[in-house]
Chains A and B, each alone.
Chain A
Amino acid sequence: MLTILFDGFAYGMILFVLACGLSVTLGLMNFINLAHGAFAMAGGYLTVVLMNRFGVSFFLCIPAGFLVSAALGILLERTLYVRLYARSHLDQVLFSIGLVFMAVSGIDYFMGAQQQLITLPPSLQGRVNLFGIQVGVYRLFVIAICLVLALALQLVLTRTRFGSQLRAAVDDARVARGLGINVSLIFTFTFAFGSGLAGLGGVLGAEILGMDPTFPLKFMIYFLVVISVGGTTTLTGPLLASILLGIADVAGKYYVPTVGSFIIYTIMVVVLILRPQGLFGRATTR
């Protein structure tokens, strides 16, 4: 029972890392980026290639996944995404679905359709006894990283100069520009950061979630559920929502396997009926 709770918690934390990048682009920049999972897949596949072909240590893959996905984010933001900020949400949805289709086929072409496996370093394998429950070392490691990340992210957004510049740029780009804030640079940086977080989630999730070419489509729904249930105005919302969904999903699959992913979808629809802006979101005028 407690083990399930713990596994669900770890699963939820990975969902959080994957989704909080999206909450940065979607919530802060108001861009519906369904291609978020593709950036996560980039991180995941990078790990697979680095570890299995070049024997790079898993610990090095973690920053590498972040940096490469972030670089990819900068590249795409500068060339493509920047043209779509002012467009309708429909255009953004179509554009990013197009990117997902391309990413899925591209990975299929280069890496094949099979599931990719990685072997964790010995120091992360096995289980330890923590307060009387058996917990996986890797899951403990993931939780620790994610908690640190969540805290750091929250501090950056609320306490730093960059955070307030970003919020100003989002609220009114024109006025922010007038105040001497380099809005397009901030947007590029933020997008890259969101993509980097996705890549990081992909690295950490490769072992637990599995990596295959359909990853962006399969998990797109989960990210969006986390974001829409948690609301996008704060980071606490997605954090609590991911934990809730992670536990509900793992417990649901364990106790009532016949119901499957039904639980998650139902939670989402019910939450959205009751609170369209998400459980923890504020109603915005936009």
Chain B
Amino acid sequence: MSLLSSYFRPDTATATGTLLAPARWRPLEILFWLVAASLLWLAPSKVLLLNEIAILALFVLSLDLILGYAGIVSLGHGAFLGLGAYVAGLLGKHGFTDPIAGLLVAGAVSGLLGFVTSFLLLRGSDLTKLMVTLGVALILRELANKFSNITGGADGLTGVVIGPVLGLFEFDIFGKTAYAYSLAVLFVLFYVARRLVNSPYGLLLRAIKGNSLRTGAMGVPTNRRLVQIYTIAAIYAGIAGALLAQTSQFVSLDVLDFHRSADALLILVLGGSGHLWGAVIGSIAFKFMYDYLAAITPQYWQFWLGLVLVLIVLFGKGGILGFVQVARDWLAHRLKQGGVP
């Protein structure tokens, strides 16, 4: 029995164990990536949907970095997604077709915007933060709309040409390359984020989220840390946008819409924030929910979305992962008691 319960909570007996336990890869996590990769062969008809999920997961992951770990509320995270998408799209349109170089440039440009705008977030209350992030996203959308000679305006940016990945794999119309490519990028960035949040740096971010006044008094350069994580999150979101533009070979004003930012928030709380897997699981659940609801009530699916959101806030603290955690603790408790045969 004790063996089983220690499976649920490995190595939490010592301080070092508590710090290291979440950093260790669990079998379930490895299994997840193996299944995700094998779907390329197991479910080839679903790869377009899977590609969307992978990109969405990356975008929500980037929001989790700032919201779940550093506690920065943002209503305009879509700004970085949109900027990344336009940068990658414009590069592809003007003859710069290597996808990975495009990703890096898009990530860098979004990161730059994140760095510059992060200074606006260091002062003021939650409301001020919400408004500034929202304002930045709105300004960006207006810019994309006004400079329609560059961005294509409401008609969107067409004629995006993307070369083969690594010079080897052409993008095909079925989306197999696209999914493999997006999944690989998601995996690499997930790995990096996992290392980041389980490092002392990640712990520090959580301390800042808990009480920024106190961390400041402890001598932590709180503002500098927030600027860093906001920039990193912007890079992530920019790369997600670039993936979106490259795999669909099209960018429209839709990427900068308010609903992108709102959806990301929703997905994150659906999955569970402050936990990188929350972003992934939330994205999967959201896409399936969307497909299901949109099939029944194509026009009014937003109603059910709103209802789910309200219910999660009222009753389901921690989203899906929070629920799993509660269930797991309960099970582990029962096992420890020896109450279950």
Contact = CB atoms under 8 A, between A and B. Distances in A.
Given A95-B309, A217-B258, A272-B128, A90 B303 contact: no
A68 interface: no
Interface stretch (B132-140, B180-188, B284-292): B132-140
A89 B72 CA distance: 11
A221 interface: yes
B229 interface: no
Interface size class of A (residues with CB under 8 A): 35 or more
Interface size class of B (residues with CB under 8 A): 35 or more
A108 B142 contact: no
A273 B132 CA distance: 8
B139 A90 contact: no
B307 A98 contact: yes
B134 A224 contact: yes
B120 interface: yes
B196 interface: no
Contacts of B125: 276-277, 286
Contacts of A102: 302-303, 306-307, 310
What is the interface of chain A mostly: helix, strand, loop, or mixed? helix
Contacts of B309: 94-95, 97-98, 101
A79 B308 CA distance: 17
Interface in B251-294: 258, 262, 265-266, 269
A228 B75 contact: no
Contacts of B262: 97
Which 9 pairs between the two chains have the least Cβ-Cβ distance?
A276-B124, A101-B306, A98-B309, A105-B303, A102-B306, A98-B310, A89-B126, A95-B313, A98-B306
Interface of A: 26, 32, 80, 83-84, 87, 89-91, 93-95, 97-106, 108-109, 217, 221, 224-225, 227-228, 258-262, 265-266, 268-269, 272-273, 276-277, 286
Interface of B: 67, 73, 75, 120, 123-128, 130-132, 134-136, 138-139, 142-143, 145-146, 258, 262, 265-266, 269, 299-303, 305-310, 312-314
